[in-house]
Structure 1
């Protein structure tokens, strides 16, 4: 039996998985497995099915990724988002370049050049942007101290986190926390 693996851009959270699963059910397409950025089906899709999938994904803010390089860049983003936003491992200091190379089976320099050429920013900058979004989330929850947030996100010090936070947002973490209208971005827009 043939299988189809689809790579989907902007599928960055469990709610995204739920929405995509529901849409595939409506289309009566047999999903074997679904995870962030990837849907596996039990059958090969016709061009008519592919067009239906593209339309329904577009209606929900997602996009089907057809080319291999785009799929690899999306895999890089998904791994970074999973590690920063969905992992229970705290204070981890695993080198991001080793993590991505091992997970994807490519040399980091190739991944880095590809990512920069497609996204217009470095992997390191993307990681920082994701960490700052996570820091915003944790500041809004108001359950952890800034020191605990810095440790949780793998920063060497509160000062390092605060410096990057201010550079990205224009605000100190404590000033951000005082705002009533929190300026968080959806993960697919970071």
Structure 2
């Protein structure tokens, strides 16, 4: 049985969900961001127990198909921006359509309705959050960050960064407090 889980955004999330399911006596076959495959059939009471346990850690079981698709889009974008080593070589719309196996127009409508923002704005927000992380660590130049995040130029990255954060990348780097968000807050 597949469970769709909201707010799984990192490998630690996967470890927590797997451990908690095992504590409840279930056998996860695979645990991916946003989705868990369990070998057993799950009763309504079991789902309630799982939901209660996962809610304690900030996760949420998703029952509605449209919400599941919106979460799948978010997970795909998070994987692309934060964990992929290869830059995207095709449009985001084509990439999402292939990954989720649905028409992009449908995906876009579902996402906008569920999240009250466009896929593009969510994608940009994730890229800016990744840029903030890279700037905070200070290991890469702005040019290298722009290249890794698939921006056409440093100017394009800087313009989007300023539009989202109200700071230039260099001003962000100079500030003494960290204004980064966790991935599930974006």
Please say if 1:184 is aligned against 2:177.
no
Please say if 1:20 is aligned against 2:33.
no
SS of the residue 1:33 aligns to: strand
1:108 maps to which residue?
Answer: 104
Distance 1:22 1:180 in 2: 37
Distance 2:66 2:50 in 1: 21
Unaligned 5+ segments in structure 2 are none
SS of the residue 2:30 aligns to: strand
Distance 1:49 1:65 in 2: 14
Please say if 1:81 is aligned against 2:104.
no
TM-score, length of structure 1 as denominator length = 0.96
Distance 1:89 1:183 in 2: 27
1:126 maps to which residue?
Answer: 122
Counterpart mapping for 1:16-165 below 5 A? 16-90=13-87, 92-165=88-161
Distance 2:40 2:133 in 1: 39
Aligned-residue CA RMSD (Å): 0.8
Give the drift of 1:88: 1.1
Segments of 4+ in structure 1 off by > 6 A? none
Distance 2:95 2:25 in 1: 37
TM-score, length of structure 2 as denominator length = 0.98
